[in-house]
A and B are shown apart, each in its own frame.
Chain A
């Protein structure tokens, strides 16, 4: 330990560092891990179960399972992937949702077909809003709008967008957590992101 000082875990510590501290019996490391991941876990679990209360319960049970499994965890996947997999398995059981056969190809377009002419070129091109997002206050408003728009996404799109774009998992991690193929992951991500873009355009766009 540097300079003999006992370092307390800080938000910047990596999951791996916190895992090491947790194994060494550091309670604060557990709290930091929970604060980092719990909200996303509840959100993810709520895709599978009927209520937020059940989702909270599933997420809490997952943490208990994580504590019990911590000595056996081999670190072949990241801690986050590991705990999210436990979570999804438990949420599926709790929601009694069958292992989902993926039906992603609903043909929902990224952009309303009415915005293109009969040759497929823009008739009503994208309204502009990026410049506005350079302003920090506007960007915060847009992020708020996105947060609520994510809630409104179809469950499967919400899961993928939350894991990839909010939580920052890699596509491989998302496929592993949700047990879906790379191709399906991309389709769901595409639909979800396209909807979010449209929400921002509708609200903030200027012709």
Chain B
């Protein structure tokens, strides 16, 4: 006979598991849900692959670098900086 908790708590199916992935990775699942999720993974190679793909997606997203500044834009910022140094309160309403 199955232990009681397995009867009380419905097991997670794949379609639910994929919706729990982010909460799982963020550590936002309750202890019980975390256990249900991990129990599902242990028996489901597809969802295990899915979780690995989500982790890889996050890793790849982290490797996206924003474009570097063009020399012109960089020069504009140097001008902004020098203007501010010359007159730190320029354009500020008098208090």
Query: Does B85 interact with chain A (Cβ within 8 Å)?
Result: yes
B-chain residues with CB within 8 Å of residue A147 when the two chains form the complex: 64
The reply to whether B53 and A68 contact each other, CB–CB distance below 8 Å, is no
Q: Given A30-B81, A128-B49, A130-B52, does the pair A166, B92 have CB atoms closer than 8 Å?
A: no
The reply to whether B46 and A110 contact each other, CB–CB distance below 8 Å, is no
What's the minimum C-beta distance from A191 to chain B, rounded to whole angstroms? 9
Interface residues of B in 46-94 (CB under 8 A from A): 46-47, 49-50, 52-54, 56-58, 60-64, 66-69, 73-74, 76-78, 80-82, 84-85, 88-89, 91-92
The reply to whether B60 and A146 contact each other, CB–CB distance below 8 Å, is yes
Task: Report the contact-size class of chain B (Cβ under 8 Å from the partner).
Answer: 35 or more
Q: Given A34-B69, A68-B88, does the pair A150, B64 have CB atoms closer than 8 Å?
A: yes
The reply to whether B22 and A189 contact each other, CB–CB distance below 8 Å, is yes
Query: Which B residue sits closest to A35, measured CB to CB?
Result: B69
What's the minimum C-beta distance from A116 to chain B, rounded to whole angstroms? 4
What's the minimum C-beta distance from B21 to chain A, rounded to whole angstroms? 7
- The residue that B15 contacts in the complex, of A43, A111, A194, with Cβ under 8 A, is A111
The reply to whether B53 and A186 contact each other, CB–CB distance below 8 Å, is no
The reply to whether A109 and B53 contact each other, CB–CB distance below 8 Å, is no
The reply to whether B64 and A27 contact each other, CB–CB distance below 8 Å, is no
Query: Which A residue sits closest to B46, measured CB to CB?
Result: A125
The reply to whether B15 and A120 contact each other, CB–CB distance below 8 Å, is yes
The reply to whether A39 and B67 contact each other, CB–CB distance below 8 Å, is yes
The reply to whether B84 and A38 contact each other, CB–CB distance below 8 Å, is no
Of the stretches A59-67, A78-86, A91-99, the one at the interface is A59-67
Per the bound structure, the CA–CA distance linking A30 and B81 in Å amounts to 8
Query: Does A8 interact with chain B (Cβ within 8 Å)?
Result: no
The reply to whether B23 and A186 contact each other, CB–CB distance below 8 Å, is yes
The reply to whether B46 and A39 contact each other, CB–CB distance below 8 Å, is no
The reply to whether A190 and B14 contact each other, CB–CB distance below 8 Å, is no
Interface residues of A in 139-173 (CB under 8 A from B): 139, 142-143, 146-147, 150, 161, 165-166, 168, 171
Q: Can you identify 19 A-B contacts, CB atoms within 8 angstroms?
A: A27-B78, A27-B81, A31-B74, A35-B68, A63-B80, A64-B91, A111-B50, A113-B15, A121-B15, A122-B47, A146-B60, A147-B64, A161-B61, A165-B61, A193-B54, A194-B21, A196-B57, A196-B61, A197-B57
New A-B contacts (8) at CB < 8 Å, excluding given A111-B50, A196-B57: A31-B74, A34-B69, A35-B69, A39-B66, A67-B88, A143-B64, A168-B62, A194-B22
